[in-house]
Structure 1
């Protein structure tokens, strides 16, 4: 989910077991950001890694009170090593929040609607200044933000009947303000991808034959058989490993079913063919395990746009791909919540993934930021209390009632309960994700 109004959610259906490594530097950002958006792939990927490693406020008082709570999570959190990469990830989040809130703010100001506050972050104020009727502030926790309106502030200098208060504006004016944050994130996401195609180029990948062995655990069945890190598994018992996204699971399935039985493994090592006989150990659950990490044999490369027309085509294609994955992931959460609820993550998870992306390839932050923007936009347009979509739903209900609003107490109750639930969810997620961090588990 991401952090949007009322704390939007950030959609990233990919929570792996806490013991697994978030991602290796040899993996492409596309795989980190896109493959993980497919819930089906997420469950398969999570199972794959585990099996292989073991071989087995008031109506219009505030808009966008954002707290970072993300519906599907980023995979297992490896850690937050590297202050520079963490700052880069936090910086990306802050900019995305700023863009979203700026959308609400500008939509209001351009219509001469009164705005009283523009805040980035939560908690104690680090810096603040007043310009005309608006207080601008930066707060200590850069994981959210909000735009404040003086509509129901008893200390406001404006009359309750002032036509320039948000609550007194026509329905269309309010719809523009409430939806502007989502629109800003969508435009920003496309702009990021367009810029990337013209500058560093989009990351692309090609799946090659075989499966790479990034790591071999000491004293494991694989180590005893002579398997080495960086080997590429080409075949098992004479059967070639497929060259697609299912290649890892193909090997996992064979190993699981063969505890204690010989498997002849054809490897490619520094351009030479090597054959080893491996006898998988039996795990506690009875499945075979060989003690390695596996990864698809992927060749990554960058594709830079030739001109503006080509940049438009490439950016549009990537935008559609990321957007489709986000929507698909959200649909899986809604349809199959029981099995996908554990994929919901909070700001700690986002920062952890962003830091890993930055460490792997700083240029990958373009796609990371685009993905966050799209997640934020999609989740926040949902008709849930405290999100942009929740406000829009109330406005739609008002329109259906012929312009008659719900009583203030009812609207306030709906929104207040939504904010409390999101705040509670955010706290739970932050605690859980922090406990899942690699360095925390190692304490």
Structure 2
């Protein structure tokens, strides 16, 4: 099942990336059409064509490698597609990208990344406005379980006088430090002095002794507690304890020990709610930018030795599997990919859109075109570097 699920996540991830790339290229395409440029081809993917829909002017293609896409526009600085040489000879200069006014050329370059940024913003804003809070905004310490969990049964046995529905409880239990502790049967509930139930306020007062803050820092801070269901995970266990069995709270032997669940109970901070819809709307801009700039931070960490800071397609697909069960989290995940695509394309590195934008801007300021041969060399070197980086990151995703 895990193999099938992994394959499904790869398919889902590829579809997501293809949709975002298609919308990115659609931004370039629509602006080119609006500016009356002559568009040879609108293609999703690279390599040999899988199929093509041909119209009088533009061909719409899907190619075999789903690693990107492109919009081919008539230009004197690049050859026309194979078989369209005679057609190119009839295209007037005003419909070639080379002769477009500089601001139109710049907007054509920016149109694709702007579409990705807009998609990210719309998704983030939709989640914030529908939920009223940002999911997973705070980390949790420990875990919280339903009322029928083993942890709560332990509490009820040790503290039978607790009121039903009591929530301000912390449970600590036996800590197994050495493998030798597992070589004999352990009655985990009979050693009651090793299991302690205490009020949250007392627990916090103890743990706060390890926190050094300003004297007034904790004033005005209050905590609210609740129990909620969370996903439960199993883990393979090797040891002699399997021969004797584990005892539950009521002292019954758990014969089918492999299928039992080991649980913990803890404290979880609440969601940070927005005051109103305007607050959620405003923070959507902040979060969109945070998602976009995270790529720059990740690249900085990657090139300083923190190789897990960025992920390639495989790492992205694994993350996809971890978030797909929660719709809002998955929407934010897609928004993050789209925001990262915006920032990636805006990097001033050939042959990305960011480099093309600065190239057009410098040519407009200096009134000089970049040497064609030099431009070709720069683009080839840049493409090789980006391909090499992608290969390295993919290998990292496999072995780390």
Residues in 1 aligned to 2:15 and 2:272: alpha-carbon distance in whole angstroms: 24
Q: Which residue of structure 1 lines up, in the alignment, with residue 282 of structure 2? A: 316
Task: Pick one of 144, 158, 173 that aligns with 2:68.
Answer: 144
TM-score between both structures, scaled by the size of structure 2: 0.63
Q: Is the 8 A contact 2:302 2:308 kept in 1?
A: no
Task: Pick one of 201, 207, 211 that aligns with 2:142.
Answer: 211
Q: Is the 8 A contact 2:121 2:288 kept in 1?
A: no
Change (3 A) 1:410 1:369: same
Task: Pick one of 353, 362, 370 that aligns with 2:327.
Answer: 362
Q: 1:369-388 counterparts in 2 under 5 A?
A: 369-388=334-353
Deviation at 1:209, TM superposition (A): 7.9
Q: Is the 8 A contact 1:121 1:141 kept in 2?
A: yes
Q: 1:56-67 counterparts in 2 under 5 A?
A: none
Residues in 2 aligned to 1:294 and 1:124: alpha-carbon distance in whole angstroms: 54
Q: Is the 8 A contact 2:74 2:95 kept in 1?
A: no
Flag the structure with more relative contact order, 1 or 2, with Cα contacts below 8 A and sequence separation at least 6: 1
Structure with the larger helix share: 2
Deviation at 1:328, TM superposition (A): 5.5
Residues in 1 aligned to 2:353 and 2:363: alpha-carbon distance in whole angstroms: 16
Change (3 A) 1:315 1:88: farther
Q: Which residue of structure 2 lines up, in the alignment, with residue 158 of structure 1? A: 88
Q: 1:147-186 counterparts in 2 under 5 A?
A: 147-151=71-75, 152-154=78-80, 155-156=84-85, 157-159=87-89, 162-186=93-117
Change (3 A) 1:114 1:221: farther
The 10-residue stretch of structure 1 (234-243 or 80-89) with the greater mean CA deviation from structure 2: 234-243
Residues in 1 aligned to 2:318 and 2:139: alpha-carbon distance in whole angstroms: 29
Once the two structures are superposed, residues 166-202 of structure 1 have per-residue CA deviations (whole angstroms, 9 ceiling, x without a partner) of 1221211110100111111111111112333455665
Q: Is the 8 A contact 2:124 2:287 kept in 1?
A: no
What secondary structure is seen at the aligned counterpart in 2 of 1:153?
coil
Structure 2 residue runs without a partner (length 5+)? 146-172, 190-196, 212-226, 229-261
Q: Is the 8 A contact 1:208 1:299 kept in 2?
A: yes
Q: 1:79-118 counterparts in 2 under 5 A?
A: 81-118=5-42
Q: Which residue of structure 1 lines up, in the alignment, with residue 387 of structure 2? A: 423
Residues in 1 aligned to 2:47 and 2:286: alpha-carbon distance in whole angstroms: 36
Structure 1 residue runs without a partner (length 5+)? 1-77, 245-269, 272-291, 437-443
Structure with the larger strand share: 1
Deviation at 1:366, TM superposition (A): 1.1
Deviation at 1:95, TM superposition (A): 1.7
Residues in 1 aligned to 2:266 and 2:104: alpha-carbon distance in whole angstroms: 51
Change (3 A) 1:422 1:210: closer
Change (3 A) 1:354 1:328: closer
Q: Is the 8 A contact 1:80 1:86 kept in 2?
A: no
Instruction: Mark the structure with the bigger radius of gyration.
Output: 2
Q: Which residue of structure 1 lines up, in the alignment, with residue 237 of structure 2? A: none
Deviation at 1:300, TM superposition (A): 6.4
Once the two structures are superposed, residues 301-322 of structure 1 have per-residue CA deviations (whole angstroms, 9 ceiling, x without a partner) of 697x99xxx5454143134134
Q: Is the 8 A contact 2:73 2:97 kept in 1?
A: yes
Change (3 A) 1:210 1:242: farther
Q: Is the 8 A contact 2:299 2:310 kept in 1?
A: no
Residues in 2 aligned to 1:242 and 1:314: alpha-carbon distance in whole angstroms: 36
Q: Is the 8 A contact 1:128 1:135 kept in 2?
A: yes
Q: Is the 8 A contact 1:206 1:299 kept in 2?
A: no
Change (3 A) 1:398 1:239: same
What secondary structure is seen at the aligned counterpart in 2 of 1:345?
coil
Q: Which residue of structure 1 lines up, in the alignment, with residue 368 of structure 2? A: 404
Q: 1:19-38 counterparts in 2 under 5 A?
A: none
Residues in 2 aligned to 1:367 and 1:391: alpha-carbon distance in whole angstroms: 29
Task: Pick one of 118, 121, 136 that aligns with 1:187.
Answer: 118
Deviation at 1:369, TM superposition (A): 1.3
Q: Is the 8 A contact 1:190 1:316 kept in 2?
A: no
Deviation at 1:427, TM superposition (A): 2.6
What's the Cα RMSD here? 4.4
Task: Pick one of 34, 38, 43 that aligns with 1:119.
Answer: 43
Q: Which residue of structure 2 lines up, in the alignment, with residue 240 of structure 1? A: 207
What secondary structure is seen at the aligned counterpart in 2 of 1:163?
helix
Deviation at 1:115, TM superposition (A): 1.5
